[in-house]
A and B are shown apart, each in its own frame.
Chain A
Amino acid sequence: MRPGGVSGSPGAGGLLGLAVLLAAWEAGVALFAVPLYLLPPPSTIWWQVVRDWPLLWRNAQPTLVEAVGGFVLGNGVAVLLAAVFVHAPAVQRAVFPVAIALRTVPLVALTPLLLLWLGTGYAPKIAIAALISFFPTLVNMTRGLAALDGQALELMHTMSASRWQILVKVRWPSSLPYLFSALKIAATSSVLGAVIAEWIGSDRGLGYLVVAATFEFRIARLWATIAVVSALALAGYLLVVAAERLVVPWRGDV
């Protein structure tokens, strides 16, 4: 077993925990006769997902496009900016505080503005998903790229390595564990960002479906949509975990 496995993957223990939770939920709802509109049991939600699958799948597609687009854009820009920061501390001192200040602006408040600026297509939703992925990755990557110990840098200096060689051969690989811990956050939050953006101005997508189901008081469908959103976020997270296993096999050995 790898020492990183405990925090890295839900694994068998996670599946067991989920099963126990679902069983308790199912039993609790039956035991206390909770009305459907307050909390449907997991079995009902499951059958609703099966029944609504064509609708859910049709609406999951735009959400997926937005989440993946935002994930790629937000993380890409964050990584590039972090690389600039490491090589130009002056830029970091100027830009970093602004970036952190921007982070405090609530995204829900920003969404109508982005709709105004970018229209009602994919663009504003991708922008929100990108923004929500951007900050954790920027902070983590800036730390990761700078996290080289002094001796490794001295060694590279005595080998007369160029800045580019140091970036590509040492800084980038050694920052990958930092990058992946940020990507794990971004994988779930980009889905949530896309859904939130759809609440405000959209006629399709899982976020739209949440709003529509609420208005029509279709509680089971609302829960089915929530289940699909969670499943998407979890799938994204698991994909990142799998990618980390492939790309950072030395993790935990250092």
Chain B
Amino acid sequence: MVTPLFRPPAAPLGSSPGTVAAPAVAFHRCGYSYGRSAGAVEALRDVTLTVGAGEFVAVIGPSGCGKSTLLRLAADVLAPSSGTVEVLGGPPAQARRQRRFSVAFQDPVLLPWRTVLQNVELPLEIAGRSPGHRREMAQQMINLVGLTGFERALPGQLSGGMRQRASIARALTLQPALLLMDEPFGALDELTRDRLNQELLDVWQRTAAAVLFITHSIEEAVYLSDRVMVLTRRPGTVAATLPIDLPRPRTLYVKRTAAAFEWTARARLALEAASR
């Protein structure tokens, strides 16, 4: 064996944040089991996956493959049974306490007694920001997601798509470096989903946040992301990585190009293989 004279520098994990951008999320040989030893259900096994700073990564996989578990590990809702998770260069708990990431679920989880504005202000309120700053930031995000004019509406008065917009505005108010999205458009009709996909891309391009995006929809995954990760059936592990090289900024037109169809077909093949 020949030992190389020069090794590439090791990943700058210990370096201070800011000097070199740490990956937004890094799962290293991550495993997770629900329940105790006897009747434990192994949801994830040996998952290694990174989301670079500012990168948009989608995760698809058969139902019950642990996609959502993966997101919950990054969100510090669950702790891995084996392996490590790093978020923005440190443990997930640290990133959470520093409020550097935020989460959007399939269910928008808006508080029904708060107006849209008050819901969007919630993370800022909890972080103890001043009312003036809260108002200004929340208004900005509401404008960004196209809910201008609905600030005083209660969630019960909004359509499903508008609620999801409010949920995304809320996730953006703290200007996070990372967005964790768990099938945020899963419950919407196709046209609304298309529109929100495009708006999400607009927002993403303007905020420079990294996104880890869990979805059922192959098309959505291909259209949105820089990379699509395909997970196998339970216990989920990475079966394939598809580097989607469609040009950006992506408009709905891009979705109908031959290249997009080809990526979608390849993703489907990979998913079918992973589901076996």
Which chain A residues have a beta carbon within 8 Å of chain B's beta carbons?
A: 149, 151-152, 154-161, 165, 169-170, 173-174, 176, 248-250, 253-254
Q: Do A157 and B112 form a contact, CB below 8 Å, given A151-B107, A250-B156, A253-B156? A: no
Q: Do A160 and B112 form a contact, CB below 8 Å, given A151-B107, A165-B126, A250-B154? A: no
Asked whether, in the complex, the Cβ of B76 is within 8 Å of the Cβ of A158, the reply is yes
Residues of the B chain whose Cβ atoms lie less than 8 Å from the Cβ of A165: 126
Asked whether, in the complex, the Cβ of B156 is within 8 Å of the Cβ of A155, the reply is no
- CB-defined A-B contacts under 8 Å, sample of 10: A149-B109, A151-B109, A154-B75, A154-B105, A157-B96, A165-B126, A169-B125, A170-B111, A250-B154, A250-B156
Residues of the A chain whose Cβ atoms lie less than 8 Å from the Cβ of B96: 157-158, 160
Asked whether, in the complex, the Cβ of B109 is within 8 Å of the Cβ of A254, the reply is no
A-B contact count (CB 8 A): 63
Asked whether, in the complex, the Cβ of B113 is within 8 Å of the Cβ of A250, the reply is yes
Neighbour of B103 across the interface among A149, A154, A169, A176, CB < 8 A: A154
Residues of the A chain whose Cβ atoms lie less than 8 Å from the Cβ of B111: 152, 169-170, 173-174
Residues of the A chain whose Cβ atoms lie less than 8 Å from the Cβ of B99: 159-160
Distance, CA A174 to CA B155, complexed state (A): 14
Interface centre among A149, A170, A173, A254 (most CB of B within 10 A): A254
Question: Size of chain B's interface in residues, with CB distance under 8 A?
Answer: 26
Residues of the A chain whose Cβ atoms lie less than 8 Å from the Cβ of B75: 154, 158
Which residue on A lies nearest to B97, using beta carbons?
A: A160
Residues of the B chain whose Cβ atoms lie less than 8 Å from the Cβ of A149: 109
Q: Do A158 and B109 form a contact, CB below 8 Å, given A165-B126, A250-B154? A: no
B143 on the A face (CB < 8 A): no
Which residue on B lies nearest to A173, using beta carbons?
A: B113
Neighbour of B105 across the interface among A151, A250, A253, CB < 8 A: A151
Contacting A at CB under 8 A, from B121-177, are 122-123, 125-127, 154-157
B77 on the A face (CB < 8 A): yes
Q: Do A159 and B122 form a contact, CB below 8 Å, given A154-B77, A250-B154? A: yes
B102 on the A face (CB < 8 A): yes
